[in-house]
Amino acid sequence: MEKEVKILAIESSCDETAAAVVVNGRDVRSNVISSQIDIHTLYGGVVPEIASRNHIERINQVIEEALKKADTTLEEIDAIGVTYGPGLVGALLVGVAEAKALAYAAKKPLIPVHHIEGHISANYIENKELKPPFLCLVVSGGHTHLVKVLDYGKYEILGKTRDDAAGEAFDKVARAIGLGYPGGPKIEKVSHKGNPDAISFPRAKVGKDEYDFSFSGLKSAVLNYLNSCKMKDIEINQADVAASFQKAVSDVLVDHVNHALNEFKMDKFAIAGGVASNGVIREALREACEKKGVEFYHPSPILCTDNGAMIGAAAYYDYLAGIRADLSLNAIPNLKLGEK
């Protein structure tokens, strides 16, 4: 039997302070998340300085709870994984400085983890049989990436957003139609009462880089529609706008995924990131995969949001590959996938 590798993972790239204990990359012993969503709701979005302040206040409790829930101690941990980018620099720095000090004092190896790699790896946790290669769509408030996962830790980015991330468009549209923050869950909720074909919003195509995304045009189209209704004194149907906007996002995502599945003949597809917990988008992608006989994977909502378990999963494969950080590890806010 292979030796057990127990990793303590720390994540603080945006507005969740999170820590987890994961064994062999797939067995989650604890997954503690301290969300700041209620605090940022007051401001209509994540305020970086407030996020950083909350991280430093919560981080030790979150780590202690993760160890306790996993019924383990720091001594029994084999390595510490930490998100070092991409994300909000002030927020990342809290996790990075904490993890470095912890690893140094406890004499444990430190593994630097890419946040997006974490999201992709969230799929390994509940799908024990899932192994690369597969196609993965990462959609969240900060990222929209279509990625070929060639092997553990090896990625080929097919496309990414030119402007807004998909989740960002959700937040902006939600604000414009008076739903508030966070936009994703709120739009999905009211969309069930609306008609997705009520309003025809554009499905953006991005020039010759066929796998890139663009959501700012769609967002502007929604804002223009709202404005023109106001000018003409037409009452806005919030549910119809939400449903039609969501359909437009979903269609673009499905279209890109279909295209890539056709071109690269991949037989497995996974979705990841906060937007992956949107039921409408998830089901549309599932349907597209089923039509092609492609295996469809998705993490549970708790693993779609920013969390420590996914960082622990990614850290395990980096650990096996011998990747280690030294004491000068810094946060890299615009870290690219596949860069180390």
Partner 1 sequence: MKLLAIDSSGLVASIAVVEDDKLLGEYTINHKKTHSQTLLPMLDEVVKMLELDLSEIDAIAVSGGPGSFTGLRIGSATAKGLALALDKKIVNVPTVDALAWNMWGNDGIICPLMDARRQQTYTGLYTLENGEFSIVKEQCVVKIQEIVEEINKIGKKVTFLGDGVKVFKDYIQENVEVPFVFAPASLNEQRASSVAVLGMKMFNEGKATEARDHKPNYLRLSQAERERQKKVRDFKIC
Q: Which is nearer to partner 1, 63 or 313 (CB)?
A: 63
CB of 16 to partner 1, least distance (A): 16
Task: Determine the Cα–Cα distance for residues 173 and 329; give it in Å rounded to an integer.
Answer: 37
Write down the residue that tokens 């000090």 correspond to. 101
Binding of partner 1 by 158 (CB under 8 A): no
| Residue 38 touches partner 1, criterion: CB under 8 A | no
Alpha carbon 140 to its chain centroid, in Å, reads: 5
76 is a site residue for partner 1 (CB under 8 A):
no
* C-alpha closest to that of 88 among 115, 121, 117, 120: 115
The Cα–Cα gap between 107 and 309 comes to 22
Stretch that binds partner 1, among 97-105, 210-218, 241-249, 254-262 (CB under 8 A): 97-105
Sign of the dihedral through C-alpha 284, 177, 307, 64? negative
Helices (H) and strands (E) counted in the chain, each on its own, are 11, 10
- Which of 253, 172, 163 has the alpha carbon at shortest distance from 216? 163
Question: Which of 93, 137, 190, 254 is close enough to bind partner 1 by CB under 8 A?
Answer: 93
Integer Cα distance of 125 and 7 in angstroms: 14
CA distance 80 to 103: 6
Q: Please, what is the minimum distance in Å from the beta carbon of residue 329 to partner 1?
A: 8
Residue range at the interface with partner 1 (CB under 8 A); choices 130-138, 139-147, 290-298, 325-333: 325-333
Does 98 participate in binding partner 1 (rule CB under 8 A)? Answer: yes
Among residues 322, 327, 334, 339, the one that binds partner 1 under rule CB under 8 A: 327
Q: What is the largest CA-CA distance in the chain?
A: 71
330 binds partner 1 (CB under 8 A): yes
- Residue 17 binding partner 1, by CB under 8 A: no
50 near partner 1, rule: CB under 8 A: yes
User: What residue ranges bind partner 1 (CB under 8 A)?
Assistant: 42-43, 47, 49-50, 52-53, 55-57, 59-61, 63-64, 74, 89-90, 93-102, 104-106, 327-331
